[in-house]
């Protein structure tokens, strides 16, 4: 192992894993760009992790192995890549890359860039590396660069502008080999066990099977919400057999009712839109609470659009480049086009945001806060107070999420979205781990022309939800985004909706929907909803895993081995033998020559 001379390394055994601890050799200031941390050959890593020799041989076959690539933030790709597969960078619309690029150089040809953690898998064997940092003090985000041919590893820190005292811990990396999906998962959970960060979500679900659920307004009304629409959805959610009422409310499970983007005057001006919400937002929180639900609200605290007051009144709060120009933080046709962000190194910005959170939680009564577009905290720019972005981000997010109970003693939860994964997990155990679901399978323009990996589309969403399932219950309580039961304003087929619902239940930990409960009740929707509730009941209470079998095809399995199946996200049937039709819980497959052909864009499950 080659360690950068600025750092010294020690290796210890912890939880049956190797813990590589790196600290600053002397007082150190990091300049521009990513700082190399260490390099190791694959055989060294295998040695460290105690990899048995048959597994090493299996890893040596480049076509039989996959490498896990974990993108920087929630909407980025996360999943296993085979030889030759790459995640494209967006083109034509450069501001799309602002969403997905993290700190440091882009992925080079011949390497897989994975943030925070990665693994190489051959068969059931996984060699895992994960940056666990320290619960005491935030450490910089770590990027792993894995040579696709040799599997050699380079790790680097995203800590531009950071200063470390002599002896200060800069990274703790865990390295282990495990055979089996659940074995790897358990080891990952132990690696992050010291954080105890799931405790703060206990009020959202009975411990053990923590599955928050509820309604959110985005994937139906989008920004076109108002007092009347929300009031109607709130009124109807408990009055018919819609999914949330059937599976959560009537059963007395904690249920969220969350108002999404569209309530605010402008993104960056966090006051109720006086035309759409003339009564303000407090009344809703009270009404939601009175109906026995947890009031939720969306906010993108770090953003500023041209239409918001900050832009005119506090121009000095905007993040600027070296020439003093505001730095674009992305592009959203639904708002003002290009938007900008705040300089979170400025203490007054922090106080201002903390004041807004006081209002949301204490004055208005919201208890489920969806903090969106958090990647903006890491955008490159000339921060007024200097220093490393990760420290400013950590300080600010710690403060904004510090209230875990309101003054009435009721629990408060925070959902991270569009958030840099490693810097966020300690503050946001509840985390969006993929692109938006969207009520259509694919977005042709964003996929093929722009090549946006985080495009809202069911296909991208499912790929990420399956791909990041190992992180669910270990690093995060994975929010897979919404499921759909509705038939109106719907571009997904019944089999696609079923695929989304079952993947979300089995491989992630939150079930939200955006259907209009007011509209509920056409026979197709009612029958589908009842069937999904039945399947949720039949499948609940077990742990599930998923593993890539081929491009866009995954095997699904329960820990006890009784449930097995195939999720086929590809556009072609997938043929496989060894499944018994008569044992099907869900069958979207046709018999062919002694095997089954699993239909495109569907899931089939069997129980023995």
Site for ligand 9PG, rule CB under 6 A: 75, 99, 218, 260-261, 298, 332, 372, 417-418, 436, 454, 456
Q: How far is the CB of 108 from ligand 9PG (least distance, A)?
A: 24
- Residue among 75 and 144 whose Cβ is closer to ligand 9PG: 75
Give the integer Cα–Cα distance in Å for 344 and 313.
Answer: 17
Long-range contacts of 331-334 (CB under 8 A, 24+ apart): 331/93, 331/95, 331/96, 331/98, 334/222, 334/223, 334/261
- Residue among 48 and 225 whose Cβ is closer to ligand 9PG: 225
| Burial class of residue 85, CB neighbours in 10 A (0-12, 13-18, 19+) | middle
DSSP 69-84: EE-SBTTS-EEEE-TT
Q: How far is the CB of 305 from ligand 9PG (least distance, A)?
A: 11
- Residue among 40 and 419 whose Cβ is closer to ligand 9PG: 419
Question: Which residue is at the shortest CB distance from ligand 9PG?
Answer: 261
Q: How far is the CB of 304 from ligand 9PG (least distance, A)?
A: 15
Q: How far is the CB of 446 from ligand 9PG (least distance, A)?
A: 8
Q: How far is the CB of 155 from ligand 9PG (least distance, A)?
A: 27
- Residue among 296 and 545 whose Cβ is closer to ligand 9PG: 296
The pair of structure tokens assigned to 570 is 């590809």
Q: How far is the CB of 219 from ligand 9PG (least distance, A)?
A: 8
Q: How far is the CB of 480 from ligand 9PG (least distance, A)?
A: 11
Strands 213-216 and 511-513: parallel
Q: Which of 144, 73, 52, 62 is nearest to 107 (CA)?
A: 144
Q: Which of 173, 167, 163, 155 is nearest to 35 (CA)?
A: 155
Q: How far is the CB of 298 from ligand 9PG (least distance, A)?
A: 5
**Per-residue CA distances from 517 to 217, 246, 513, 525 (Å):** 11, 12, 10, 11
Q: How far is the CB of 261 from ligand 9PG (least distance, A)?
A: 3
Beta pairing partners, 121: 66, 126
- Residue among 261 and 496 whose Cβ is closer to ligand 9PG: 261
Q: How far is the CB of 439 from ligand 9PG (least distance, A)?
A: 13
The DSSP symbol for 445 reads I
Give the integer Cα–Cα distance in Å for 147 and 41.
Answer: 10
- Residue among 158 and 296 whose Cβ is closer to ligand 9PG: 296
The DSSP symbol for 361 reads I
Query: Per residue, what are the HEC states of 509-577?
Result: CCEEECCCHHHCCCHHHHHHHHHHHHHHHHHCCCCEEEEEEECCEEEEEECCCCEEEEEECCCCCEEEC
Q: How far is the CB of 4 from ligand 9PG (least distance, A)?
A: 34
Query: For tokens 């994960």, what's the residue?
Result: 130
Taking the alpha carbons at both ends of the chain, their separation in whole angstroms is 47
SS3 of residue 165 by DSSP: coil
Give the integer Cα–Cα distance in Å for 218 and 270.
Answer: 17
- Residue among 456 and 517 whose Cβ is closer to ligand 9PG: 456
- Residue among 29 and 445 whose Cβ is closer to ligand 9PG: 445
- Residue among 148 and 464 whose Cβ is closer to ligand 9PG: 464
Side by side, the strands of the sheet bearing 303-304 are 303-304, 337-341, 328-332
């Amino acid at each position: 192992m080659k360690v950068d001379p600025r750092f010294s390394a020690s290796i210890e055994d912890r939880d049956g894993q190797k813990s590589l601890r790196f600290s600053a050799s002397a007082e150190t200031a990091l300049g521009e760009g990513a700082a190399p941390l260490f390099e190791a050959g694959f055989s060294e890593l295998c040695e460290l992790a105690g990899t048995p020799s048959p597994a090493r041989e299996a890893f040596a076959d480049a076509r039989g192995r996959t490498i896990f690539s974990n993108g920087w933030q929630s909407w980025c790709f996360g999943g296993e890549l085979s030889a030759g597969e790459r995640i494209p960078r967006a083109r034509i619309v450069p501001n799309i890359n602002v969403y997905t690029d993290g700190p440091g150089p882009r992925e080079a040809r011949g390497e897989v860039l994975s943030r925070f953690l990665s693994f190489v898998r051959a068969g059931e064997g996984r060699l895992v590396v994960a940056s666990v940092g320290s619960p005491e003090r935030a450490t910089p985000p770590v990027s792993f660069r894995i040579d696709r041919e040799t599997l050699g590893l380079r790790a680097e820190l995203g800590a531009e502008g950071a200063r470390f005292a002599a002896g200060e811990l800069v990274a703790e990396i865990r390295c282990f080999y495990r055979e089996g999906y659940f074995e790897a998962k358990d080891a990952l959970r132990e690696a992050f066990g010291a954080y105890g960060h799931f405790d703060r979500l206990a009020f959202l679900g009975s411990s053990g099977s923590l599955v928050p659920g509820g309604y959110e307004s985005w994937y139906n009304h989008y920004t076109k919400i108002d007092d009347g629409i929300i009031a109607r959805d709130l009124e109807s959610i408990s009055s018919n057999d819609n999914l949330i009422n059937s599976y959560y409310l009537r059963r007395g499970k904690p249920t969220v009712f969350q108002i999404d983007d569209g309530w605010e005057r402008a993104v960056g001006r966090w006051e109720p839109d006086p035309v759409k919400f003339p009564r303000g937002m407090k009344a809703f929180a009270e009404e939601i609470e009175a109906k026995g639900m947890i009031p939720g609200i969306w906010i993108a605290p770090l953003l500023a659009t041209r239409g918001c007051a900050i832009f005119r009144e506090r121009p000095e709060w905007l993040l600027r480049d070296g020439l003093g120009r505001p730095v674009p933080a992305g592009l959203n046709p639904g708002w003002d086009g290009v938007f900008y962000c705040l300089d979170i190194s400025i203490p007054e910005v922090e106080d201002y945001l903390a004041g807004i959170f006081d209002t949301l939680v204490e004055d208005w009564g919201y208890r489920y806060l969806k903090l969106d577009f958090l990647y903006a905290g890491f955008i490159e720019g000339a921060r007024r107070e200097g220093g490393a972005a990760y420290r400013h981000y950590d300080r600010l997010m710690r403060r904004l999420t510090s209230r875990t109970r309101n003054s009435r003693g009721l629990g408060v939860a925070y959902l991270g979205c569009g958030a840099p994964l490693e810097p966020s997990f300690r503050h946001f155990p509840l985390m969006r781990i993929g692109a938006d679901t969207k009520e259509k399978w694919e977005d042709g323009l964003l996929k093929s022309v722009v090549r946006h990996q985080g495009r809202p589309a069911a296909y991208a969403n499912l790929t990420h939800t399956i791909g990041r399932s190992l992180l669910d219950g270990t690093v995060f309580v994975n929010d897979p985004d919404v499921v759909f039961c509705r038939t109106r304003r719907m571009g997904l087929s019944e089999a696609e909706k079923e695929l989304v619902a079952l993947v979300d239940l089995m491989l992630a930990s939150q079930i939200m929907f955006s259907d209009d409960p007011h509209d509920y009740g056409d026979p197709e929707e009612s029958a589908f909803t009842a069937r999904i509730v039945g399947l949720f009941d039949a499948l609940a209470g077990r742990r599930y895993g998923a593993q890539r079998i081929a491009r866009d095809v995954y095997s699904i399995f329960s820990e006890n081995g009784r449930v097995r199946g195939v999720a086929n996200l590809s556009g072609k049937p997938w043929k496989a033998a060894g499944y018994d039709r008569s044992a099907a819980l869900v069958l979207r497959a046709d018999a062919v020559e002694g095997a089954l052909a699993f239909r495109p864009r569907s899931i089939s499950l069997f129980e023995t």
